[in-house]
Copies of this chain bind each other. A is one copy, B any other.
């Protein structure tokens, strides 16, 4: 469980950021943000003034929020008439996360607090959250160990003739027994993920997912992940799963094959590993995010695989790594346009992958933390393709 000191540090950093931007306070409403700054993910609104004590206003459940919250929890939630009284006249500018707050919610709070200016603190929040404390890094390592232990079991249950969804079921069963929490939070507006991907033939199918691989899924309504297609010999099987423990997500991918791989796939895998290793070695504070993506794309080009990098030709995703933590799509992103330097304690899933239509998808993914010595690998398991 979160410690009082941990929450205090988070609040101090948030208050500092608010004062720097001239914002009088943050009204946090999105569940995982409320959890991050209070220790409870009950249905509640958290008010953090730029100076002074935060307050947690709980809708449901007050008793559980009182048990968990490291900030004083009060309830019942104030009536519309009472709510404005909680905000002194000196509060003029209120920060809200515009990236996730629906318009209806925004209008509700704007009506409750007339005359105040609401400003977007989505960027502040995401940047603060991206840097993990020592306590958080321990949680991430524990998630990494637990997820890796499930990956280690794959050779015991992967067989040809089983459907992709059977492989998914076996993996997810063991992940759940290991205490996996299952629900994977994503912040981006139009993304959805059910735990991960266990895909072979369908890995080449393009899809909506903002990543190199989507999978065909089971229907047009759920067009993602495993399908009912069967796993056959000599075809790469990509297992890309998240593990969620204590709320902290790690992300990793390993390749399996029953039989052998075509030389083009073996060469692509060697390139993916070289890219991963290059990016990992350079996962140091001060290194600019987009530079790592450019270099990765260059290495793919040099191997003659530029068209196939991070997606089928024409459907390529434009990144080589993404932040992970309480959400799967955190900052930083190793992508064009991210001109910011890496910071110590950020945690990044590096996932160079190649889609070779007709042959299959191949690549590698591990979660690392940024350190002075380069990326510390959190998902401790050999990277090699596992031949069965």
Chain A interface residues (CB < 8 Å from chain B): 1-2, 29-32, 35, 39-43, 59-61, 63-64, 68, 96, 98-107, 120, 122, 165-166, 168-170, 172-173, 176-177, 179, 181-183, 185, 189-190, 192-195, 205-208, 210, 214, 217-225, 228, 244-248, 315, 326
Expressed in whole angstroms, the minimum distance between the Cβ of A221 and any Cβ of chain B is 2
Residue from A2, A39, A64, A205 with most neighbouring chain B CB atoms (10 Å): A64
Flag if B315 contacts A63 (CB, 8 Å). yes
Interface of A is mostly: loop
- Which residues of chain B are near A219, meaning CB under 8 Å? 1, 181, 245-247
Flag if A169 contacts B165 (CB, 8 Å). no
Complex CA distance for A206 and B185, rounded to whole angstroms: 22
Number of copies: 2
Expressed in whole angstroms, the minimum distance between the Cβ of A162 and any Cβ of chain B is 10
Using A41-B223, A43-B190 as known contacts, say yes or no to A179 and B218 having CB atoms under 8 A apart: yes
7 sample A-B contacts, Cβ–Cβ < 8 Å, listed by A number: A35-B221, A40-B223, A60-B206, A60-B208, A64-B206, A98-B107, A182-B194
- Which residues of chain B are near A217, meaning CB under 8 Å? 181
Expressed in whole angstroms, the minimum distance between the Cβ of A369 and any Cβ of chain B is 19
Residue from A63, A181, A206, A224 with most neighbouring chain B CB atoms (10 Å): A181
- Which residues of chain B are near A326, meaning CB under 8 Å? 221
Using A120-B103, A176-B169 as known contacts, say yes or no to A64 and B182 having CB atoms under 8 A apart: no
Complex CA distance for A142 and B50, rounded to whole angstroms: 54
Given contacts A42-B207, A221-B326, 7 further A-B contacts (CB under 8 A): A2-B220, A29-B190, A39-B220, A166-B177, A182-B195, A185-B192, A221-B246
- Which residues of chain B are near A195, meaning CB under 8 Å? 182
Complex CA distance for A244 and B194, rounded to whole angstroms: 12
Using A103-B98, A206-B64 as known contacts, say yes or no to A183 and B192 having CB atoms under 8 A apart: yes
Flag if A220 contacts B40 (CB, 8 Å). yes
